[in-house]
């Protein structure tokens, strides 16, 4: 991250995380939560979530395994 521009300085984010998020956003679905395999590993043991695995091609990264939260998964409010 850093400040770019001399006329109108702006804060900008760079790097692999931002590029991966951009690629996932372009292959995601409207109103669906799309996570990387790294994030999936952190939440996969939560029995209240149902995930759909998919393979996507991410420019500059190649094939990636990602996960979409299934429709019909209870919200946090519904599980309380």
Catalytic sites, residue numbers: 23, 59
Confirm if 56 and 26 have CB atoms less than 8 A apart. no
Q: Which runs of E-coded beta strand occur in 1-80?
A: 2-4, 10-12, 34-36, 51-58, 62-69
Alpha-carbon distance of 35 to 80, in angstroms, equals 24
């Amino acid at each position: 991250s850093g400040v770019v521009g001399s006329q109108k300085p702006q804060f900008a984010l760079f790097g692999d995380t931002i590029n991966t998020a951009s690629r996932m956003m372009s292959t995601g679905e409207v109103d669906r939560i799309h996570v990387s395999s790294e994030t999936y590993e952190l939440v996969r043991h939560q029995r209240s979530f149902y995930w759909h695995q998919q393979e996507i091609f991410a420019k500059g990264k190649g094939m990636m395994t990602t996960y979409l939260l299934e429709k019909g998964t209870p919200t946090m409010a519904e599980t309380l």
